[in-house]
Chains A and B, each alone.
Chain A
Amino acid sequence: METTTGRKLCQTLNRILNRRYNGWKNLRLNFSLDTGKEVSDPPYETSTGHTDDIRQTDTQMVLCHKKQMIKDSRLNGNFEIPVIWSFSCELPKPAARAGKCLGDLLLELLTDKFTNLLYLKEIDQKLTEAEASDASIPESNGSPDSEDPLEHRLKMNPLIKYFLENILDEKELIHYYAEKIIQTYRFPDKHLLIHISAQLYENRTAESKMYFADKPFALTKTGKKYIQLLTNTESGQKEKEYPIAIEYLRTIRKLMEMPGEGYGLLILRKNTEYWIDGIISDHLIKEEPAIEFRGYLHWSAICKDQELLEYQNGDYQIPMAVCDRDKDGWKSNLKKLDGIVKDSSVIEKTICTLIDSHSHGTSIVFMNKDLLDFEIKRLCKFRRAYKVKPFPIANSTDALKGITAMDGALMADLEGKCHAVGAILDGEMMVTGHPGRGARYNSLVNYVHWVLDREEHKGEETKCDTEIPVCFAAILSEDKMVNLEVPPQKKHKVLRKS
């Protein structure tokens, strides 16, 4: 039997996953016939798929695999054959459990959908067609959520969408992941956890830990490190008196105040019932899974010192999966610079430097030299920018810390050299605003569109030479979001002023 079925699928998913989870390396999904041999990938350290076997190294090679008897309805097929899916990636050791969970989840989603080799073959074909397709990429409307064009094309295909939606849709996948963590470690429903994290006590947000176990600790061994609650009535039951349930939020929140530093609440569980048993020292129970509440609408699921899941302000995160630098997917927009700038890696490096150096929000506008000179001159005329001697941003992390603290945008050329700082940008309204974002974001997006539009329609009045105008911006928000806004380049008339 030929073994290329599924190869395209894995290639495509690997590409998508590696782009998405750029905090981890070499994410690799694989599909092959099950020959009965042990699945391994030397020379890396491997695990057998059990979390207990993860070794202690700085980086960890996580490997999951899943065997499946798959139907083979292809022409000349073999009715049913054994196959094996595997997932591997190289990731920081503290993320190993999360990586394993993600791997298991991906394999589950794939094996659930791909129950027939014929499906794999069809999907391979569709993926190949999608890649080769000349379908134009829908124009970005300025949405910061603009996705990879390939991913977008893939989702447009109903067949691919049916099989891969859960993986292609990033939000969908993360929700599945969150659900998997909750189920695997038998935490209470995540919505309850969200509610708890939002509950204030005396205007204070929750900052505490909950450890989950199936049975209470023996007090004789624990000594002072475990304080057990008793029932208030003789015939009472703790599960009824101290339940972890939506109706008892206030009680729960109150009791969460009890553990201090180095302690957490011990939550016992039986089936779907959870109740508070007492306060326990971290040392006694660090092997058990826990929820760490870190503030308002902020909590993490952890186990054995490894973070499994982080929830913050409505979003779930897989720990260390996404490089902070590209949390918001701005890097995918760098492709739009192809043919516009000579070297987009310079731009990328410049933006990354800014990410590393800023603690407050900041922004940077890139332009071609002539346009840049024109704009700086225009803005400086009205004292809306400070012209500086051009310096490369990429190597100036320390210097930028202060500069970026100043209000206003940086203005740089396409080689990544800063020519002006503190620019207060203007411009007529060109694009629809994003009400969910702040002034910095909205004004920068509007500015770059306005500049290019002006260059196109008001070419006779510009002082530009024959260079094609280029203008785009990176916005680094206060809440750590990073966006790269690259408007479509427009044609324009260029006149040389005498």
Chain B
Amino acid sequence: MQNICRPFVLYNDFLPPGSEIHETWDYLAFGYYDGLSVGENLFSQNDCSFNRLWDYEKKQLKNLKGKYSEKILFGFRNEYQTDPPCSRDSEFWMQARKEATAYPFIFLTLLQVKTTSPEMNLQNRRNLEDALSSPGNMQAISYLTLDSSDIILILMCKRYRDGAGILDRFHREEENSPLKTCGLNLTYSFTIAAIQRHQLNYNIESLASSQKENLHKAYIYIIEKKPGSIDYVRKEIGQQMTELTAEDKKSHLRKESVLGCNDEVIVIEDVPWISFLRLFQDQTGVLNNSSAIYQENLVGATTIIALPQEPCIRKTDSQDNKEDGKNITEQVPLLSEKLRKMIGQLNSGNLRQFEDLNRYLYQITNSLQKFEKSAFPDYILISAFLPLNMVMKIAESRDKKTEAIFFDSFYEFIKGLNVYVQNATHSDRQFTQTLNFDIKIYCAPVKITAFYNAFIYRLKRHLSTSCTDNPKHTYEFLTCLGVADNLKVLELFKNVVDTQRLFLVNIPEHQAYNPKQMLVMLAHEVGHFVGQTVRDRERRLEHAQIIMAKMLVVYFRDFLRHEITDENEWQSLQTDAFLTELENSLAKQIEVYLNKLEDKEYLTTVKFVGFSSEEEVTDFLRKYKKYKTYSHLLTVTLTDSCVSILEEQQELLFGYLLEKDFLYWLERDPSLADHMKRKRERGFLKAGIELARTSDWNRNEMSMASISRDMMYLFKECVADLISIWTLKLSMYDYLQVLIQNAEDQGRAELDVLNYLRSSMIVFCMSYQITNPKSPDAEACLWSFDKLEDDVIKINHESRPPQKILITETIIYHIIDQYLTKRSNPSNIQSDAIREFENQFAASRYRVFRDAGVLMEFEKYLLSSRDSLASYDSSEDQQSIRKIYQLFQEENAENMVIEIQKYIAEYHKCLQAEIQNQANII
């Protein structure tokens, strides 16, 4: 089987166009587009990665010189073994590209077909291709696409009329139209007609003579450079049409005035093709941008060729204007109407800002309304309804305190929505005639965005219904392609209404072309926000307190090892027992101090928090109680509590060691006892100050803030990783690949220490047996530590330069071996990578994580989260998510596109139902 992905580049000259001959264009196009080129197959037998599309786009962009714009459509198909040795695709384009091709005209048609399931299997399309092909006259080939259309149909013809006539029959829905015969019901089509440039410029006589009849009619819409310059152009057109007499020119060539962006239209009727085609030849043709006449007199020219219509038989179908059994015109409640009512009822609050808000909301709702029940399939805009609905609910719930947050987030929402809808304004849709400054931030096919929308929808539905104790929380995500260097998820309207949460997902365009990686990353990012029971913040808080205590003990152990170098003294002071007790004390004190932050008296008299009113106090305490387990607050309060503890509880924490040390020196050398005690006290004080200090000059130094931050980072990232891994049933290899790729995307050559720890804990967690699986699939999701070990040992024995992934595996293996397992015979693999890692680890600010107790405490939390995830394996959404991810493991381009289309269609159904549901709610 051969995977095909062929790029079709549509060119559009800027107004006015440049004067260069478009040497690189394969075809000159009539109509909106000015040119067309067809690229080589981007896929190979075993590689149908979408990254190649992105690479191609980049390469194309580099070659643009600011004279014209491009739009690239990608067509996908498979060629199977049963095909002739030379596949249809290669055969087709070999014929098309011949300089003396028998098929000078090409019609690229974008078809949208009406079907309940996008089952445009290969056979249907093959049948269409066969039905349309007539060797010597016309050849046809079709492709699947990720753009708004469903099929790209290419016809190459000897005669213009043949191709145009076929296509005319399509959209007139003729009873015996080849489309219908092949089981495809057309809803919309857009065709670009073009002529091979080489034939036009070097073989015009032969080309024209094969047309058999005259050109029926052509309309040339002109924008003149200066008033009256069109007269000169018309005169020149007449002169170039040497086949016409003067009389003919009067009747067959006329100009008419029009309004709008064009100034006049020249109508050419019933003239020889050669006369017409000569007008478009390079440098000499008046209507070619490279001619001097064009450059001097015209801004732009658009040519539309018309054909006479022949009668056709159309079958009327009583079901035509019904959808899903319902009459399309039947009045159903629209969500957009309900939204309009809601806008009208919003309380005004801050008047000036509210006026802006009002205006935006009406504008958006109005624009979106046409897509709610659109006859034209829409992949993007319909997905904006639910987020907008949520914004309205949040707007209703806002009060004075949350007003400022609301407006800030609202403007972010508008910007995000603006970027989001750009994806919808692709040129394969119907376009407006207005000339606009169209920067086109990104070019990714719309179905890619729609696919990610569908995926996020399923995922959030699974996590918010299965993996949460509070199904009343609603989550909406709006994806914005292109405007980011890395995948980022931004929550809007944070803390305004807890049960309604809206997120902007900024996806870098190049990553969008890597669905295998993107699905993992999206699952990870969504996992950060959805999935309460998996995250279990209360349980996390308990572990966080213990881990903080353990890490501080690691810090002080290192400090004491530096201070007490005599092993006898160490033993005599029972330092190990002291450190164990210190850990218990710290854990208790951290809990105490965190609870103190709920005490008003403590806040005002000890912390000196300045409250301006009683109401402010109450509000603060209410918020703190509500959000104290949330990571953004917990990071700060943990830091603050630990600093306070070290400042205020020195005696409680270190009293034992100080006194014991004092006694030790009393016995050993009484003259030094007081001095040593003071020295130890100063030492502890200094160690505590060092830890509490945060330097703006070097934020990479270890401090209490960095410890807390790094710890919460691990909590959050590991849980999000687990959600991603479990919902997608990722393999260890895939997980590590994504992690490494992500690091590279962020400009890092390899993982840093913290992310090595993160990945090690994940590998350990995923390799650990589930004690009470509730799902038969649960065991199947687990990874094998033995396999990791085999890989690592193998690398070290083979002495070959290891790849990045294998280096990562080696270090992960080492971390697990050293810190997480309690094997009696650790393998003690030594390697440069491990040595280098350990050196970095010991010297970095993460050195407090360098402790089995710390890491195992993390693991306890993670294992519990994992088991929680495992208990929801049977969810339908879960199964669907895994299935779609598996799709990208196969190397089958056409199957991939078909499945994507199916997935999007299912998503749309769910979305429509949900929108209708919202509309019905009074």
Contact = CB atoms under 8 A, between A and B. Distances in A.
Interface string A146-163: 000000000001110010
B462 to A, nearest CB: 48
Interface of B: 574, 577-578, 581, 651-652, 655-656, 658-660, 663, 666-668, 670, 673
B578 A159 contact: no
B660 A118 contact: yes
A159 B651 CA distance: 22
Contacts of B667: 157-159
Given A75-B574, A79-B652, A158-B670, A118 B581 contact: no
Given A118-B656, A158-B666, 6 more contacts: A73-B656, A73-B659, A75-B656, A76-B581, A79-B652, A158-B667
Name the prevailing secondary structure of the B interface residues. helix
A122 interface: yes
A196 B577 CA distance: 60
A71 interface: yes
Nearest to A160: B667
Contact of B655 (A73, A76, A162): A73
Contacts of B658: 73
Contacts of A158: 666-668, 670
Contacts of A74: 656
A75 B577 contact: yes
A2 to B, nearest CB: 16
Interface residues of A, number: 15
6 contacts: A73-B659, A75-B581, A76-B581, A79-B651, A116-B655, A158-B670
A173 B574 CA distance: 34
A311 interface: no
A146 to B, nearest CB: 25
Contacts of B673: 162
A77 interface: yes
Contacts of B577: 75
A119 interface: yes
Given A75-B577, A76-B581, A162 B666 contact: yes
Interface string A391-419: 00000000000000000000000000000
Nearest to A161: B670
Interface string A327-348: 0000000000000000000000
B581 A116 contact: no
Interface string A64-102: 000000010111110100000000000000000000000
B659 to A, nearest CB: 4
Nearest to A117: B659
A38 to B, nearest CB: 31
Nearest to B655: A73
A159 B666 contact: yes
Contacts of B666: 158-159, 162
Nearest to A115: B659
Contacts of B660: 73, 118, 122
Contacts of B655: 71, 73, 77, 79, 116
B663 A118 contact: yes
A159 B663 contact: yes
Nearest to A123: B663
A77 B656 contact: yes
Nearest to A73: B655
A157 B668 CA distance: 10
A448 to B, nearest CB: 39
A122 B663 contact: yes
Interface centre among B577, B651, B659, B673 (most CB of A within 10 A): B659
Contacts, number: 41
A79 B658 CA distance: 14
A127 to B, nearest CB: 13
Interface in A122-166: 122, 157-159, 162
A116 B659 contact: yes
Contacts of A79: 651-652, 655
A76 B663 CA distance: 18
Contacts of B663: 118-119, 122, 159
A32 B367 CA distance: 84
B670 A162 contact: yes
Nearest to A126: B667
Contacts of A119: 659, 663
Interface string A41-80: 0000000000000000000000000000001011111010
A310 B652 CA distance: 47
Contacts of A116: 655, 659
Q: 4 closest pairs, A vs B, by CB?
A: A73-B655, A159-B667, A73-B659, A75-B581
A374 B673 CA distance: 59
A118 B658 CA distance: 11
B557 to A, nearest CB: 16
B670 A118 contact: no
Interface in A102-127: 116, 118-119, 122
A90 B577 CA distance: 44
A408 B655 CA distance: 65
Contacts of B651: 71, 73, 79
Contacts of A73: 651, 655-656, 658-660
Contacts of A76: 581
Nearest to B574: A75
A439 to B, nearest CB: 43
A119 B660 CA distance: 8
A159 B673 CA distance: 11
Contacts of B659: 73, 116, 118-119
Contacts of B668: 158
A118 B578 CA distance: 13
A75 B581 CA distance: 6
A158 B673 CA distance: 11
A118 B655 CA distance: 10
Nearest to B656: A73
A75 B577 CA distance: 8
Nearest to B654: A73
A135 to B, nearest CB: 15
Interface centre among B574, B578, B663 (most CB of A within 10 A): B663
A73 B659 CA distance: 7
B625 to A, nearest CB: 28
Nearest to A71: B655
Contacts of A159: 663, 666-667
Nearest to B649: A79
A261 to B, nearest CB: 54
A74 B574 CA distance: 11
A75 B652 contact: no
A447 B811 CA distance: 85
Interface string A265-306: 000000000000000000000000000000000000000000
B576 to A, nearest CB: 11
Nearest to A77: B656
B264 to A, nearest CB: 97
A79 B578 CA distance: 15
A92 B38 CA distance: 124
A292 B578 CA distance: 58
A36 B659 CA distance: 28
Nearest to B581: A75
A366 B673 CA distance: 50
Contacts of A157: 667
A119 B659 CA distance: 8
A119 B670 CA distance: 15
B674 to A, nearest CB: 11
A119 B656 CA distance: 10
A117 to B, nearest CB: 10
A116 B657 CA distance: 13
A18 B578 CA distance: 38
A116 B660 CA distance: 11
A153 to B, nearest CB: 14
Nearest to A162: B666
Nearest to A116: B659
A71 B574 CA distance: 19
Contacts of A162: 666, 670, 673
A453 B14 CA distance: 131
Contacts of A71: 651, 655
